[in-house]
Copies of this chain bind each other. A is one copy, B any other.
Amino acid sequence: MLDVCLIGTSGMVPLKHRWLTAFHAVSEGHAILIDCGEGTQIAMSEASLRLKPIDTICLTHCHADHIAGLPGLLLTMGNQGRTEKVTLIGPPGFSEIVRCLLVIAPLPFDVILCETDGKSGHVFKCGNIEIRPFAVKHVMPCLGYSLILPRGGRFDPEKARALQIPVRCWSLLQKGETVTIDDKVIHPEAVVGPPRKGIHVVYSTDTRPVPEITEAGKNSDLMVLEGIYPGSEKLDKAKEWGHMTFEEAARLAFNAHTKELWLTHFSQSVERPEDFLENAAAVFRNTKIGKDGMKKHFVFED
């Protein structure tokens, strides 16, 4: 199972009633944080999310509203006793910037910096979660992230009994391991069906609508996308600064055949984004206006 939380929903400026956009996903004690603007550590505390289990931090890009909270958050993780390494993933050039920011953050753990352009098919792992970055289109190098919790095939006990495999070996085979019984090598394919649908969540903000987002979100369970402006009257501004309107985000969700869309990264000029839900829902029905601390618990489908 996978638990996700939209930590904040503000774009560009942290507001007193809205934290900056960031996202959290956790499975079996391994947590991923995507983006870390000023105040993200406080917003996490408000959402009852623990900092210490964060193994991987993914940064979409290096604008302050997505990265300025990094030194403080890492320091607090250290103060809370974390000693295991933390992996940071970001676009080309982000390592240099992170190194600059960490000048105020002496840490009791190693920080591993992984740069990717999001076009090379790099896959990272955090526990069992696969992290697939993809390139999007902003005013600087920027990544979206696909998070996938894969699910193995169905174990067939009838076949296992027929092959006289002892029960103690069943779980190993189910996990994809090969076992040897009395010199007979048994591959998992002999008793395990093809991989089943896992859980698939996509997060992408600070981008124009590009086909890479639809591709990444194809048949996903949830897409979390920016909708900086509710209406098309600000489309020119969205284009100029590399952002998306509600309608544009909804169009991506519709084309991706995702199950659900959460909008986030609202401009400070938008006091009540929920008043404009219909701008997106007219295009993609299952749209929700993001709220700070909004959560969802995913389990594998039967």
Q: Are A64 and B68 in contact (CB under 8 A)?
A: no
Q: How many residues of A contact B (CB 8 A)?
A: 30
Q: Which residues of B contact A13 (CB under 8 A)?
A: 76, 79
Report the bound CA distance from A157 to B79 in whole Å.
Answer: 64
Closest to A76 in B: B13
Stretch at the interface among A39-47, A168-176, A191-199, A277-285: A39-47
Q: Are B103 and A97 in contact (CB under 8 A)?
A: yes
Is A75 an interface position by the 8 A CB rule?
yes
Is A16 an interface position by the 8 A CB rule?
yes
Is A100 an interface position by the 8 A CB rule?
yes
Is A217 an interface position by the 8 A CB rule?
no
Q: Contacts A16-B45, A101-B104 given; indicate if A71 touches B64 (C-beta within 8 A).
A: yes
Q: Which residues of B contact A103 (CB under 8 A)?
A: 97, 100-101
Is A89 an interface position by the 8 A CB rule?
no
- List chain A positions with a Cβ less than 8 A from chain B: 12-16, 37-39, 41-42, 45-46, 62-65, 67-69, 71-72, 75-76, 79, 97, 100-101, 103-105
